């Protein structure tokens, strides 16, 4: 039995789908390995700046994201679809190289550190969103249900290997060296994306997936992302889902920073704690993505991916309200993050397979970056206000439980809307099916 046949049988996919699965997984791997090499350092910088000041960093990140959106919108408008990822990754690779030079010249400069914290928080959302945009552009829904979770396992593996690389290499090459390595990995990602595009070019043509169509720019204007979202109840529903997801994450993130600062005052210990949590999350995520997610969505539908984790998170917040300890928080954080990566993220990306091509790039990136970081900023200040008024961590946890419940309800509505749109006959590219769904 061939290797590809064994892989296909093990993961419940067609044998001719093993190549794109492995290629997509490699693309996610190199990007996440580079990002997660740098993430523990970013987290430590955030704590070092003072937990009470985290909302300022979140606000700065949101403003930086707003500034980046017109630039990405211009690229998506003028550049052929198949070149959007190379241009985006090339830009970020050059940015990493500039930061590496800055760290080499002035490694103790606090403003360079703060700028890097904000920049990497913008970079990771846009870069990840672009990869998913390519995937939802290249794969129809029938394949997405089988392949997305398996390809996303490459992200989890990269998220596991990245911190280990950082720990092993930071003493040899320093922080600047890690940035140079992350920049090189993005360049490798460009080459892998081209391989995935060539595979699709050799396949039977699906609506909107032909090589000729991807060779043309999307057109429109740089702000089409926001206007498309505002015109579509379906995309507004996805925006609300992402807003609630980000709010839940921010509430837990602030509690994590507060409890880590209290329990682990040493910076090196803080970095080790953050790295350990990341490693546990990625291990659980990989196992779920390889053996559970694809089978789950095929048997129970997308609602299982979009609702289960919010419900579990809600219960975790209630537990945290009655037992506000670091051990409980660590369990809730690990379960929520692993569940998001293994179930929520693939399900969320499947929602975009039924929208027009332009929305897959422009509207999707607006939701994944501006909406997400805007929710971060608003919920960061909301969390600070709740802590100021209540003076009790339990109150913030119960508020978080309420947000998680709303998140679950929104996910259920989106799953039904997506099913209704998918059930319609395929429509020519440019027809706005995204306006259907939630308004029914």
Residue 12 has pLDDT above 80, yes or no: no
Q: d(Cα 159, Cα 163) in Å, to the nearest integer?
A: 7
Residue 379 has pLDDT above 50, yes or no: yes
To the nearest whole number, what is the mean pLDDT of the chain?
83
Can you give the length of the chain in residues? 440
Tokens of 158: 């990269």
Residue 435 pLDDT class (50, 70, 90 cuts): very low
Q: d(Cα 248, Cα 267) in Å, to the nearest integer?
A: 26
Task: Region of 301 please: left (phi>0), alpha (psi -120 to 50) or beta.
Answer: left
CB count, 10 Å around CB of 101? 13
Q: What is the pLDDT of residue 228?
A: 92
Q: What is the pLDDT of residue 431?
A: 35
Q: What is the pLDDT of residue 437?
A: 38
CB 305 within 8 A of CB 245: no
Q: d(Cα 201, Cα 196) in Å, to the nearest integer?
A: 9
Helices 372-390/110-138 angle, 10° precision: 130
Q: d(Cα 135, Cα 192) in Å, to the nearest integer?
A: 13
Q: Which residues contact 389 (CB under 8 A, 6 or more apart)?
A: none
Q: d(Cα 166, Cα 40) in Å, to the nearest integer?
A: 9
Q: Which residues contact 212 (CB under 8 A, 6 or more apart)?
A: none
Q: What is the pLDDT of residue 211?
A: 57
- For the stretch 380-431, pLDDT in tens is 888 888 878 877 778 889 999 999 999 999 999 999 999 999 887 444 344 3
Q: d(Cα 294, Cα 136) in Å, to the nearest integer?
A: 16
Is pTM beyond 0.85 here?
no
- For the stretch 214-272, pLDDT in tens is 566 666 666 788 999 999 999 999 999 999 999 999 899 888 888 887 888 776 677 67
Residue 46 has pLDDT above 60, yes or no: no
Q: Which residue has the tokens 């010249």?
A: 105
Tokens of 421: 């749109």
* Domains of the chain as residue ranges with CATH: 3-435 (1.20.1250.20)
CB 352 within 8 A of CB 368: no
Q: d(Cα 341, Cα 347) in Å, to the nearest integer?
A: 10
Listed as own residue / partner, the contacts of 197-205 with beta carbons closer than 8 Å and 24 or more positions apart are 197/82, 197/134, 197/138, 199/19, 199/20, 199/23, 200/20, 200/138
Report the share of the chain in percent with pLDDT over 90. 32
* Closest listed residue to residue 247, CA positions, set 103, 58, 409: 58
What integer is the mean pLDDT of 26-38? 91
Q: Which residues contact 313 (CB under 8 A, 6 or more apart)?
A: 248, 332, 335, 336, 339, 404, 407
Radius of gyration (Cα) for the chain, nearest Å? 21
Q: d(Cα 32, Cα 379) in Å, to the nearest integer?
A: 26
- 9-13, 20-24, 267-271, 281-285: least confident range: 267-271
* Closest listed residue to residue 341, CA positions, set 426, 415, 257, 281: 281
Q: d(Cα 87, Cα 126) in Å, to the nearest integer?
A: 12
What integer is the mean pLDDT of 160-179? 83
Q: d(Cα 436, Cα 236) in Å, to the nearest integer?
A: 11
Residue 434 pLDDT class (50, 70, 90 cuts): very low
Could you give the 3-state DSSP secondary structure of residue 80?
Answer: strand
- Beta-sheet strands, E only, within 61-103: none
* Closest listed residue to residue 148, CA positions, set 349, 360, 285: 349
Q: Which residue has the tokens 């707003």?
A: 66
């Amino acid at each position: 039995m061939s290797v590809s046949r064994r892989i296909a049988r093990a993961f419940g996919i067609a044998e001719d789908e093993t190549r794109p699965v492995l290629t997509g997984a490699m693309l996610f791997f190199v990007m996440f390995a580079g990002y997660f090499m740098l993430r523990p350092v970013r987290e430590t910088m955030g704590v070092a700046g003072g937990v009470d000041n985290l909302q300022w960093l979140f606000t700065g990140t949101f403003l930086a994201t707003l500034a980046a959106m017109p630039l990405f919108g211009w690229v998506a408008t003028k550049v052929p679809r198949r070149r959007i990822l190379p241009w985006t990754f090339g830009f970020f690779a050059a940015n990493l190289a500039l930061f590496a030079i800055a760290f080499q010249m002035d490694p103790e400069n606090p403003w360079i550190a703060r700028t890097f914290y904000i920049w990497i928080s913008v970079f990771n959302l846009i870069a990840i969103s672009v990869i998913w945009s390519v995937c939802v552009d290249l794969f129809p829904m029938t394949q997405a249900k089988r392949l997305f979770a398996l390809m996303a396992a490459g992200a989890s593996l990269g998220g596991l290997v990245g911190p280990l690389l950082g720990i092993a290499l930071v003493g040899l090459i320093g922080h600047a060296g890690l940035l140079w390595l992350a920049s090189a990995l993005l360049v490798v990602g460009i080459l892998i994306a081209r391989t995935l595009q060539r595979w699709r070019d050799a396949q039977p043509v699906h609506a909107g997936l032909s090589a000729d169509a991807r060779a043309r720019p999307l057109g429109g204007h740089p702000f089409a992302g926001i206007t498309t979202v505002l015109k579509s109840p379906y995309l507004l529903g996805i925006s609300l889902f992402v807003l609630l997801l980000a709010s839940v994450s921010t509430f837990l993130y602030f509690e994590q920073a507060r409890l880590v600062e209290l329990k682990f005052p040493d910076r090196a210990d803080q970095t080790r704690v953050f790295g350990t949590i990341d490693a546990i999350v990625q291990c659980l995520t990989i196992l779920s993505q390889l053996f559970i997610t694809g089978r789950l969505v095929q048997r129970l539908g997308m609602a299982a991916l979009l609702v289960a984790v919010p419900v579990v998170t809600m219960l975790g917040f209630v537990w945290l309200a009655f037992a506000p300890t670091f051990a409980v928080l660590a369990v809730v954080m690990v379960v929520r993050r692993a569940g998001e990566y293994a179930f929520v993220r693939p399900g969320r990306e499947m929602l975009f397979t039924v929208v027009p091509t332009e929305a897959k790039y422009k509207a999707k990136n607006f939701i994944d970056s501006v909406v997400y970081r805007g929710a971060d900023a608003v919920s960061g200040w909301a969390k600070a206000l709740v802590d100021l008024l209540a003076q009790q961590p339990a109150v913030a946890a119960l508020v978080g439980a309420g947000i998680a419940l709303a998140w679950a309800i929104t996910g259920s509505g989106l799953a039904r809307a997506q099913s209704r749109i998918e059930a319609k006959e395929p429509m020519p590219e440019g027809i706005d099916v995204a306006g259907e769904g939630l308004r029914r």
